[in-house]
Chains A and B, each alone.
Chain A
């Protein structure tokens, strides 16, 4: 049943691929028909269907710019291949732990040499449970038979007289095999049992003592952080980091390339700088959120199909929180990267710019991964969860640790939105001044001061 879902997901992807291919083929045929002299009206329709720029008139210039960004990005091979790779990684991250947990090793064959001993059998079973190793207790008539069975592999462990354990291969101290795990628990337990017998306890008394279990420890705070949630939290932070880095780079490169190719001059002759920048940010943001939703939806579908623990506990809430903070993180940083892109017009200049811009992201990312793994945020981390540059990483971790109330979450969102507004205003100003300046990279000193004379002229240039 669970694999039915996987088959459905793969089938849907194939259908989508075939649909896109057929549509392209139709469009090419339509384009060929244009050149063969097909009447004008069908040509218009074909051209309209081809380009995708025929809808969304109500969106205005910002919508048109955004639409172009979406279409061009989604058509790009890098985007499609990148999305498939991310989906494969996410699928593997869900499937591999599940497959690992489902893999059942055969029970350890433990032989008791001599007459059956209920207390001994109970200790063996208890040790198996403690070492998370399935066990099966058998009896062997004598030591020779037991050793023979050990050598042939029919037995894993033999207990002689209740005071000696025989195994076929020596057990290394750091071994993690099932036999080693069992023996590491069984040996001291047998020692205790042997001591009870030496002390002259009766069999019922020994059984009674053997059943002794540690008393429960109760804490005042409920421990809600389970391993699964911790894993989801780490995966979420990694995804936010990867996607923020990718989309910010798109913005940086996109703005730089528009400037370098001088297409920005043609565009700014028709639209305002804020419209052009806003459309670019919106378009890439839509692609980002579409890709993120696809990944999260895929993660949910695969989790449900294989019965992963991802959907249990706070996992879904955490994933939704990750989506929210991916959006807020993108909204904050995209303006900064756009402004930086407008000051450069060469690849090497972009690389020089990208490093300092990525420092706060890197710091927040590493710190958040550390905290998500340890589950122990300090005061500094909690403060970072409210600062717009670091909140996209820190706040989802606190959500995963169940250490924030809803109103704290909302306060952090409000601060992030306010920070984004300030950043957008600041970045648009830089973009307006820098994007038409050609030649050397524009320095911050060049951008100081108000634009001279006669707005709405957008920027200064060089001859």
Chain B
């Protein structure tokens, strides 16, 4: 049986502001869980609550059924949104130091540091100061610091922000590998396309409340049918707006994304498109995560 992080009934207020409002969800092992929400939704507060870094008015965080405490936190890995590293400390020393603080032996910490720096392609910067590294490499160091003690749970706040495609691939690969190895992985991100690629499951919150949770596949296949239609020379998709039961979700680079009500026949749409011009694309599409997100928080 896999491991499980449970958040139950979390509530946190700051004066009149409700940051978390009876928030409950679970993070199972073996998959990367995306934690989504607009700015100020309470994502960071939730992540801090997992580590006891914020006081809760109500609720409990459990790990495998037991309320989390110092012993569990030692086995968790955390990457805060505003990166937490000593700017003037050497990269290798820093990662090793954090490994030691999580209870690793000196030799284990040293070898794990070497291993993760190699894996994240920054071994050649082990003797550099953190402040001398690029943003992307600092991000890799931060991830190495979160991974060095081989945690059971990884909580990463915006781990992909500001990375180039190579960095995203490298970090994304590591996260998926960790999940496959049995780790619980919870990441927050505003890059929804990347989340869709990485995560099997998402949790969407807004105003501290749970809005939607489920597997990416379920959420994407759920709801109205979606069509992507490209009509040569057309940039407005006015032709589609005239069809009853069809709404234009988005027009981008000549592609019109249409949402069809259940009773709309797709042949009707095709004929209308052909009447507007030469049709070069006509495909059904799953809901994208960004659309799920927008619908959820609107």
A47 at the interface (CB under 8 A from B): yes
Q: Count B-side interface residues using an 8 Å CB cutoff.
A: 55
Known: A269-B53, A451-B55, A460-B55. A261 touches B84 (CB 8 A): yes
* Residue from A51, A57, A266, A463 within 8 A of B78 (CB atoms): A266
A81 at the interface (CB under 8 A from B): no
Complex: A34 Cα to B123 Cα, angstroms: 8
Complex: A264 Cα to B101 Cα, angstroms: 13
Q: Which of B54, B90, B109 has the most CB of A within 10 A?
A: B54
Chain A contacts with B in 82-115, Cβ cutoff 8 A: none
**Interface contact B93-A454, CB-CB below 8 Å:** no
Q: Which residues of A contact B40 (CB under 8 A)?
A: 463
Min C-beta distance of A329 to chain B, whole Å: 27
Q: Count A-side interface residues using an 8 Å CB cutoff.
A: 48
Complex: A50 Cα to B92 Cα, angstroms: 9
Q: Which residues of B contact A55 (CB under 8 A)?
A: 106
Q: Nearest residue in B to A272 (C-beta to C-beta)? A: B70
Q: Nearest residue in A to B44 (C-beta to C-beta)? A: A463
* Residue from B17, B96, B126 within 8 A of A34 (CB atoms): B126
Known: A53-B109, A454-B55, A456-B69. A266 touches B98 (CB 8 A): yes
Chain B contacts with A in 21-48, Cβ cutoff 8 A: 40, 42, 44-45, 48
**Interface contact B97-A266, CB-CB below 8 Å:** no
Chain A contacts with B in 260-292, Cβ cutoff 8 A: 261-272
**Interface contact A453-B53, CB-CB below 8 Å:** no
Q: Which residues of B contact A264 (CB under 8 A)?
A: 84
Q: Which residues of B contact A461 (CB under 8 A)?
A: 45, 48, 53-54
Complex: A422 Cα to B67 Cα, angstroms: 32
Complex: A52 Cα to B79 Cα, angstroms: 24
**Interface contact A35-B124, CB-CB below 8 Å:** yes
* Residue from B58, B78, B85, B97 within 8 A of A261 (CB atoms): B85
17 A-B pairs with CB atoms under 8 Å apart are A34-B123, A48-B107, A51-B96, A53-B106, A54-B106, A262-B84, A266-B84, A268-B53, A269-B53, A269-B73, A270-B98, A453-B55, A453-B56, A453-B57, A457-B55, A461-B45, A463-B45
A28-B127, A54-B107, A262-B84 are known contacts; what are 4 more A-B pairs with Cβ within 8 Å? Answer: A35-B124, A47-B113, A51-B93, A52-B93
Taking Cβ atoms with an 8 Å cutoff, the residues of B that contact A are 14, 17, 19, 40, 42, 44-45, 48, 51-58, 69-70, 73-74, 76, 78-80, 82-90, 92-93, 96-98, 100-102, 105-107, 109-111, 113-114, 123-124, 126-127, 145-146
Taking Cβ atoms with an 8 Å cutoff, the residues of A that contact B are 28, 31, 34-35, 40, 43-44, 47-48, 50-55, 57, 61, 64-65, 68, 71-72, 258, 261-272, 436, 451-454, 456-463
